[in-house]
Structure 1
């Protein structure tokens, strides 16, 4: 079967969970004998780990898409100019700019993209349609998230492919928009979703949320739990002298880094935990830099900065090494997530997780026995839960072994 997988790129500036999940999925499909083509949109996808998968040029290059939306006269720009702005070098530079990977300020462009053939990027859509129809000729076209639903109608009209769409944390983009736009975007996604043959998501939590929000008929929505290629992950020695708590996600206030940081500082104020280390990885965007620097300044003021280690390289080999340095991992996203790739990676490395009782986390911990839940999602409660676990190494080791076994066998 020939599968064309259309996915937004992050440019490789931070640990993009959806990029990681996409790469794992495509690698698995390739091993099963399918012909897989990865089609990046907006920015290059640089998470790595896609050996053997065919790659196309970037479509809907972020710079050209932005200029078409903001400058009406640019919609008539010559092709040579568009090619310059679609160059790998310029797109990598764009990825490092905060605005290219955040929703705030891009509300109109998001609406335009979802309008597909009626939007300001209709020319880019036809370019993609011709490429898939005339050159690729896929059996399946898989959209990696619902924010790409503006593509579905024309792709369905012009190809004989089955249209599949993954649902994965679209709310993380929409929730950051101006409030006046949020419901309009959900409504537009719901209408454009009528052109899709099948939706899939990885958790009951997100299936229930999207079934209602996007008005998806039950027969068009399947739950397929996430998975991971466990090759290379070795059990962490789970250090306790001293212990280390870790965070592996985009280093952002939105994803709960501030909650973990405050919890770690509270933990350190207890004499028996004064040596606990804080290890961080996942990268960040320009928008996050001020927030991250603020945390580091606070740690320095409290004379705790020497016990924070930031792993700047978050490629898969380095993530594996990072996880081997941890005793516990926590990514306390305030509203929870649909997938949480860091949970799978942590348990593959035998590192228990400490997560808030929101989103997909209860399902994952129930299925694996590889961690604990806490509520409410506050630094105080997280600090209390980590203290209980750090006082009980045998329990931590038991959860690590149980969770790793389940992930290796089932995910």
Structure 2
């Protein structure tokens, strides 16, 4: 099958969506499929071999200039190539440029307007390129914020279009109300140009149709999968302090402050006499003060020496970091639709303690690799972590279950199998198959026993 993927670059940040798109494309290429992975906005950053094309469409500098300086909407393409070069885009992505949705409302609306937006010249570049390449069997968009491209691409190719759904609601809810309402209206108006929407979790497949007014028959589910090469089971040394880990973007919505408060509860009364709070992940410039506040709270509690921020880790460093943990928790304060960090921890045999919300519930229940606790509750989170500390056999059981079931249900090979099934169905114009599912949308025959705590 010949597939044209667009994937959204995130500058100097490892993002879950970029990692997913690259891993899926690489797996399909390894099976002999003809896959072209095209970055938009910036080059993609992955911790695996990057299979994306060198050329970046809708280069972030050009998109910005065309939004705010009318002169650049008619500038010659030879000049645009300067702004769209990888060197310029890398340079721009290193600068402290805010990507907060509150600052990007106008740009979001313009992109969703497609050929009627200020970036119409960029759309022409893409469609001209597409017309001179071998026609794909299918085109995949990375998220609904790019649905303004659906009609121009379909007009150019007359091929089916799929769109992945990976958590756009968090971005949209952060927009000012005027831009949010207009963006939702434009997304809904473009849904008719898309043949299938692919959700990365059962939770999101239940939530997003009503939010975006997507007909349920257009929704498919392709759960996340990770490349398991290099992931090995952790080796616990009894003499080590108990290590609680956080591996995600350092931002308020990811809940590091909740985990830090839970950690302080555990150490305040000596229930865990010797411990460390290990943190790793990308931190945007605007969140430095957030991390500083957490570090200060730890120091005020006399625990400053126990808090370690390791920054951004490459693949080898990431696996090494995870294998040293006794438990991982990313207590997000919103309904996370993905949770790739859970799969990565479980792939190392590390148990997790997560709030019962979003995709966390289905991942923990399907793998049996952790405990579920009340959302937004440091006390409940502390009790879940304490249970793993006080019952080493439970931690080992959860870790082993996660280790085995990530390989069974959440490998990149399994993700590719399910993606291909969707693509083949869409290209044959087949209706969505009906499955016998439980309340979490998982096939009953695939249910796995799980441990759970609700405190």
**Range of TM-score over shorter length:** over 0.9
Counterpart in 2 of 1:86? 84
Q: How far apart, CA to CA, are the structure 2 residues paired with 1:373 and 1:302?
A: 27
Query: Structure 2 matches for 1:162-241, cutoff 5 A?
Result: 162-238=160-236, 241=240
Counterpart in 1 of 2:321? 322
Q: Is the 8 A contact 1:26 1:50 kept in 2?
A: no
Q: Is the 8 A contact 1:94 1:100 kept in 2?
A: no
Counterpart in 1 of 2:274? 275
Which has the higher mean CA deviation after the structures are superposed, 273-282 or 363-372?
273-282
Q: How far apart, CA to CA, are the structure 2 residues paired with 1:329 and 1:148?
A: 33
Counterpart in 1 of 2:111? 113
Residue 100 of structure 1, CA deviation: 4.8
Give the TM-score of the pair, scaled to structure 1: 0.95
Give the TM-score of the pair, scaled to structure 2: 0.86
Q: How far apart, CA to CA, are the structure 2 residues paired with 1:54 and 1:358?
A: 33
Q: Is the 8 A contact 2:333 2:375 kept in 1?
A: no
Counterpart in 2 of 1:366? 365
Residue 281 of structure 1, CA deviation: 1.2
Q: How far apart, CA to CA, are the structure 1 residues paired with 2:57 and 2:162?
A: 19
Encode CA deviations 1:35-64: one digit per residue, 9 max, x unaligned. Answer: 11111111110113235x351411111111
Encode CA deviations 1:89-127: one digit per residue, 9 max, x unaligned. Answer: 332233234545321211010010011111000100110
Q: Is the 8 A contact 2:98 2:286 kept in 1?
A: no
Q: How far apart, CA to CA, are the structure 2 residues paired with 1:123 and 1:250?
A: 34
Residue 405 of structure 1, CA deviation: 0.8
Encode CA deviations 1:7-66: one digit per residue, 9 max, x unaligned. Answer: 1101233x3111111122112111221111111111110113235x35141111111111
Counterpart in 2 of 1:102? 100
Q: Is the 8 A contact 1:239 1:325 kept in 2?
A: no
Q: How far apart, CA to CA, are the structure 2 residues paired with 1:152 and 1:208?
A: 23
Measured on the aligned residues, the alpha-carbon RMSD in Å equals 1.7
Query: Structure 2 matches for 1:12-411, cutoff 5 A?
Result: 12-13=12-13, 15-50=14-49, 53=51, 55-238=53-236, 241-411=240-410
Residue 362 of structure 1, CA deviation: 1.1
Instruction: Structure 1: state its 5+ residue gaps.
Output: none
Residue 80 of structure 1, CA deviation: 4.1
Residue 221 of structure 1, CA deviation: 1.0
Q: Is the 8 A contact 1:190 1:213 kept in 2?
A: no
Residue 347 of structure 1, CA deviation: 0.8
Residue 136 of structure 1, CA deviation: 4.6
**Cα distance 1:270–1:244, how it changes in 2: closer, same or farther (>3 A)?**
same
Q: How many residues align?
A: 409
Residue 239 of structure 1, CA deviation: 5.2
Which has the higher mean CA deviation after the structures are superposed, 301-310 or 37-46?
301-310
Residue 180 of structure 1, CA deviation: 3.0
Q: Secondary structure at the match of 1:64?
A: helix
Q: Is the 8 A contact 2:352 2:369 kept in 1?
A: yes
